[in-house]
Chains A and B, each alone.
Chain A
Amino acid sequence: MASFTTTTTVDDPRISLGGGGILPPVLGGRGDDGSGSPNYTTRLRRARLGLIVAVTPILMLFVSFTSAYIVRQGLPTLDPQTNLLVKDWIPVKLPALLLVNTVVLLLSSLGMELARRQFRGEAALVSGGTASEVSSTEQNKMPWLGMTLVLGLLFLFGQWTAWKQLGASGFYVSSTASSSFVYLLTGTHAVHLMGGVLALLVASIAALFRRASARRSIVIDVTAWYWHFMAALWVYILCLLEFAR
């Protein structure tokens, strides 16, 4: 005869992505307050998980470009003039401006992180978090978000100028295989950064005209991590183009 016992212990499904990582702990179960609406912690965790997932294909895009870059560098091609295989890679001299742009982007990352913590404090106030999460009133007055936005736009403008400089020195997108990759990698990065800039723009305007909200804090948190990823990606691209010539 089967026995039907109502079990009281059930595996509580939770995602574990390493202890103490960037995902906040699951407070009190799934964070479902029973009304069907997930609470702030759950929504933040879910958004951050979504970001990790979203960043993966962007990584794959650049992994793919990198492998094409490395393959193309070493690839000999048949020169019909001589019937021999020759390598035709001409390294590009990168404009020094790119280093300046890098500093600008890293500074913007710093500003982004400060903005992220600032808005986390606001959200804690809104959703009734603990006192320790509330940042000081001094910080609340600094426009970190605006500063990040300005620095981000400055970076993009700097990239545009760097492309102009490249063109002036004879390296257009189709000039050589190497120059094609320079424009490809920096251009694709810029497009992705623009996405982040747009998110910041929307959040900044909203912050100016509306009061604090948990939702905005989550948007800024996720955008911040995205921004840091973009900064790290830029450093990688610069190193690849400079050292793997």
Chain B
Amino acid sequence: MGLVLLIIIWLITLVSTYFFVAKWWWLPVGASAAAAGIDHHFTVSFILMGPVFVAAQLALGWFAWKYREGGTSSKGAEYSHGNATLEVLWTVLTVFLFVGMNLMSRSIWASERFDSAKPGAVQVEVTGMQFAWYFRYPGPDGKFGLTKPELEDASAGGEAALGLDAKDPASKDDVVSGVMVVPVNREVEVILRAHDVIHSFFVPQMRFKQDAVPGLAIHMHFTPIQTGEYEIACAELCGLGHYKMHGILKVVSQEEFDKWLAAREAEKQ
């Protein structure tokens, strides 16, 4: 039975480790400026924790077999209540490992979350509602117009869904889109809002996720560095349509972005 335990535990450990190392199912290729640092820290964490996982499981299987009753290497059990030096040693090592690993990531977290978006970033207001995403651009005046809950009409889509107040002069040049378009290599500042329940804006390739909370306007930023189309998936349970509340993020060249935005502005006239 000890041998079977060893074989099964070792097999499970080695097979599962293989799939991690071979990256059969893995992070998609990163497309934001932060991705390299985050992916690097993933690697560091796997390199530090992986051997611990493997060693602990292999030791477990090994001991189960080696110290089986009736086996050649076990006479009587060793009467020992422990070893204080070992306790201290592995406690200190574990503290260093865990806390050290976390501290290594501090600078990335700081640059992602402590610092605000730089001036000149492209501003996009991202609003989640059951069950769609809307994206609003402030237009040439750089100001977002007021929205009023009583003006909301989700069935009409676009500006009506957000309850945009046409009487506010700042609203005149706001562009509302069902697709999020941003220029490449420029910082994007997202202002996250929600109308009804908590939603969450998640783009895996951008390594970007943030909850959109009703009653708050949360400012975050990321910088796309690769053009393309990326899926936005809602990452906080928001009701029966949670699984189909997805959007598209299009990262295009600066010229294409300007053209697109200008065209949308023109439509409003």
A residues near B (Cβ < 8 Å) are 77-78, 80-83, 85
| Residues 159-175 of chain B, each 1 if its beta carbon lies under 8 Å from chain A, else 0 | 00001000000000000
Query: Given A78-B215, A78-B216, A78-B217, are A83 and B148 neighbors across the interface (CB < 8 Å)?
Result: no
A227 to B: closest C-beta gap in Å:
41
Instruction: Report Cα–Cα, A78/B193, bound state, in Å.
Output: 10
Instruction: Report Cα–Cα, A80/B215, bound state, in Å.
Output: 9
- Of A77, A81, A82, most buried by chain B (CB within 10 Å of CB) is A81
Instruction: Report Cα–Cα, A185/B106, bound state, in Å.
Output: 41
B23 to A: closest C-beta gap in Å:
42
A79 to B: closest C-beta gap in Å:
10
Inter-chain contacts of B217 with A (CB < 8 A): 78, 83, 85
Which listed residue (B146, B193, B215) contacts A82, Cβ 8 A? B146
- The chain A residue with its CB closest to the CB of B195 is A80
Query: Once the chains bind, are B144 and A83 in contact (CB under 8 Å)?
Result: yes
Query: Once the chains bind, are A77 and B215 in contact (CB under 8 Å)?
Result: yes
Inter-chain contacts of A83 with B (CB < 8 A): 144, 146-147, 217
Interface status of B142 (Cβ within 8 A of chain A): no
6 of the cross-chain contacts (CB-CB < 8 Å) are A77-B215, A78-B217, A80-B147, A80-B148, A83-B144, A83-B146
B97 to A: closest C-beta gap in Å:
34
Interface status of B37 (Cβ within 8 A of chain A): no
Instruction: Report Cα–Cα, A240/B147, bound state, in Å.
Output: 37
Majority secondary structure of chain B interface residues (helix, strand, loop or mixed):
loop
Interface status of B149 (Cβ within 8 A of chain A): yes
Inter-chain contacts of B216 with A (CB < 8 A): 78
B residues near A (Cβ < 8 Å) are 144, 146-149, 163, 193, 215-217
Which listed residue (B144, B146, B193) contacts A81, Cβ 8 A? B146
Inter-chain contacts of B148 with A (CB < 8 A): 80-81
Instruction: Report Cα–Cα, A83/B127, bound state, in Å.
Output: 13
Instruction: Report Cα–Cα, A82/B146, bound state, in Å.
Output: 6
A80 to B: closest C-beta gap in Å:
5
Instruction: Report Cα–Cα, A83/B215, bound state, in Å.
Output: 10
- The chain A residue with its CB closest to the CB of B162 is A80
Inter-chain contacts of A85 with B (CB < 8 A): 217
A143 to B: closest C-beta gap in Å:
55
Inter-chain contacts of B146 with A (CB < 8 A): 80-83
Name 16 extra pairs, CB < 8 A, besides A78-B215, A83-B217: A77-B215, A78-B193, A78-B216, A78-B217, A80-B146, A80-B147, A80-B148, A80-B149, A80-B163, A81-B146, A81-B148, A82-B146, A83-B144, A83-B146, A83-B147, A85-B217
Inter-chain contacts of A78 with B (CB < 8 A): 193, 215-217
A22 to B: closest C-beta gap in Å:
38
Instruction: Report Cα–Cα, A195/B163, bound state, in Å.
Output: 50
A73 to B: closest C-beta gap in Å:
16
Instruction: Report Cα–Cα, A83/B219, bound state, in Å.
Output: 13
B245 to A: closest C-beta gap in Å:
21
- The chain A residue with its CB closest to the CB of B165 is A81
A123 to B: closest C-beta gap in Å:
47
Inter-chain contacts of B149 with A (CB < 8 A): 80
Instruction: Report Cα–Cα, A90/B231, bound state, in Å.
Output: 44
A84 to B: closest C-beta gap in Å:
9
A82 to B: closest C-beta gap in Å:
7
Instruction: Report Cα–Cα, A80/B171, bound state, in Å.
Output: 14
Inter-chain contacts of A77 with B (CB < 8 A): 215
Inter-chain contacts of B144 with A (CB < 8 A): 83
- Of B149, B215, B216, most buried by chain A (CB within 10 Å of CB) is B215
Instruction: Report Cα–Cα, A82/B143, bound state, in Å.
Output: 12
Inter-chain contacts of A82 with B (CB < 8 A): 146
Instruction: Report Cα–Cα, A77/B193, bound state, in Å.
Output: 12
Inter-chain contacts of B193 with A (CB < 8 A): 78
Instruction: Report Cα–Cα, A85/B219, bound state, in Å.
Output: 13
B134 to A: closest C-beta gap in Å:
14
Instruction: Report Cα–Cα, A83/B170, bound state, in Å.
Output: 12
Inter-chain contacts of A81 with B (CB < 8 A): 146, 148
Instruction: Report Cα–Cα, A81/B146, bound state, in Å.
Output: 6
Instruction: Report Cα–Cα, A78/B216, bound state, in Å.
Output: 6
Instruction: Report Cα–Cα, A191/B148, bound state, in Å.
Output: 41
- Of A77, A78, A82, A85, most buried by chain B (CB within 10 Å of CB) is A78
